[in-house]
Chain A
Amino acid sequence: MNERQERSASDDLALIRSMMEAGRRRAAFDGTHLIIWGTVLTLAYLGQYLLAYGYIPGSTLWVWLPLGIVGTVFSVLHDRRRCALDHSDIAVKAYSGAWSAVGITMILHFSFALASDALDPKVITILACGVIAAAFHVIALATDVRQLRLVSAGWWAIMVFMTTQKELAPEILLVLSGASALLIVLPGQLMKRLVNSEAKPKSATEG
């Protein structure tokens, strides 16, 4: 049998599997979505705080709408480059499913609350913290990245803190802005670093 053919068989398949898995993990969990939406939330809460004290003109909608559009556009552009994700992969499913659930829950709640003229800042804040905490918990379980459990715990803690407040002072918006930076943008950076450092199959140069 040809030497080249012998080398190829199982070694090459193992190499292909391991590298494709590394690439897939990098693509799925590269943290870019977290960085995009964490930045959007950080700026939006900060904008809302400045709005509450009259430092900037406009309304809540004019703070959130442009930032939401910017976040969506960046996410879509990012996803178009990552079109080869294997959505049958359980971790990829969990990741995209968890964040889709966050988006759908918040949009539904916001729409119904707005339509019924019952938009309660406290309720929407508690709900947002809860779904974000749950999403991070699901991702932590799916990816086995322990640090994400701490991030999830951080959001649960903020949620509990919000429930203890009788009414939300504008300063709470600063807390949420900081939390978005610390507990969404930062984990995004962490995932970027983790995925890049984990993608190290030892067989690439051997054989």
Chain B
Amino acid sequence: MSYDYRAIDDIIHSRVRLAIMSYLATARDADFVELKKALKVTDGNLSTHLSKLEGKSYVSVSKQFVDKKPQTLVAITKAGDAAFKAYVEDLATMLSPQTNKR
């Protein structure tokens, strides 16, 4: 069985989006500032990547007020969970010795 690299999820494959999904896969949710710190990216960059993930329903973005300050909360969705697991499995397949021999 040969591995088709084109099957890999392009939405998750971007480095920043992959980092977002990996972080949220375990943290489950995070506010915008926390994610920005964790990824060391700019506001605009993070917003752009979150929009793409939100567009595919991999994450949900909600706004709320905490201590009268606006807070943007990002959470991974079930679809995002499934897509991330599939991505990691694809990656593992790509790295498995059997695939490398081919």
Min Cβ gap B25→A in Å is 6
Q: Which of B24, B26, B28, B40 contacts A86 (CB 8 A)?
A: B26
Q: Is B66 an interface residue (CB 8 A)?
A: no
Q: Are A20 and B23 in contact (CB-based, < 8 A)?
A: yes
Q: Are A15 and B19 in contact (CB-based, < 8 A)?
A: yes
Q: Which of B17-52 contact A (CB under 8 A)?
A: 18-19, 22-30, 34, 37-41, 45
Q: Is A162 an interface residue (CB 8 A)?
A: no
| CA A23 to CA B34, docked complex, whole Å | 10
| Chain A neighbourhood of B16, CB < 8 A | 204-205
Q: Are A204 and B15 in contact (CB-based, < 8 A)?
A: yes
| CA A200 to CA B41, docked complex, whole Å | 10
Q: Is A199 an interface residue (CB 8 A)?
A: yes
Known: A15-B18, A15-B19. A81 touches B28 (CB 8 A): yes
Q: Is B5 an interface residue (CB 8 A)?
A: yes
Q: Is the interface of B mostly helix, strand, loop or mixed?
A: helix
Q: A1-21 CB contact bits vs B (8 Å, 1 = yes)?
A: 010110011101101101111
| Chain A neighbourhood of B22, CB < 8 A | 15-16, 18-20, 23
The chain B residues found within 8 Å of chain A, CB to CB, are 5, 8, 13, 15-16, 18-19, 22-30, 34, 37-41, 45, 88, 91, 94-95
Q: List 27 A-B contacts (CB under 8 A).
A: A9-B94, A10-B95, A12-B15, A12-B18, A12-B91, A13-B95, A16-B22, A19-B23, A20-B25, A20-B26, A23-B23, A23-B26, A23-B30, A26-B23, A26-B38, A27-B28, A82-B28, A84-B28, A85-B26, A86-B26, A196-B34, A196-B37, A199-B23, A199-B37, A200-B40, A204-B39, A205-B16
Q: A12-B18, A205-B15 are in contact. List 13 more A-B contacts (CB 8 A).
A: A10-B95, A16-B88, A19-B18, A23-B24, A23-B30, A26-B38, A84-B28, A199-B34, A199-B37, A200-B37, A202-B40, A204-B39, A207-B15
